[in-house]
Amino acid sequence: MTDDIELRPEAAPAAGAPVPPPVTLFAFVLAGFGLRHFLPLSLPIDRSLALATGAAVLAFAVALGLASVRALVRGGSNPHPRRPSEAIVESGVYRVTRNPIYLSMTLILAGIALMARSGWHLVLALLFMLAIHLTQIRREERYLEARFGETYRAYARRVRRWL
User: Which three-class secondary structure state does DSSP give residue 139?
Assistant: helix
Which tens digits make up the pLDDT trace of 80-111? 877 888 899 999 999 999 999 999 999 999 99
Instruction: From 156, 157, 152, select the one nearest 85 (Cα to Cα).
Output: 152
pLDDT at residue 12, rounded to an integer: 59
pTM: predicted TM-score of the whole model, two decimal places: 0.88
Q: CA nearest 36: which of 122, 129, 127, 154?
A: 122
pLDDT of residue 95: 96
Give the count of beta carbons closer than 10 Å to the beta carbon of residue 135: 14
Sign of the CA dihedral running 19, 23, 26, 27: negative
Instruction: Report pLDDT for 9.
Output: 44
pLDDT at 14: 65
Task: Please check whether the domain covering 48-163 is classified as CATH 1.20.120.1630.
Answer: yes
Q: Where are the domains of the chain?
A: 48-163
The stretches in the chain having pLDDT less than 50 are 1-10
CA angle, residues 28, 43, 161, in degrees to nearest 5? 50
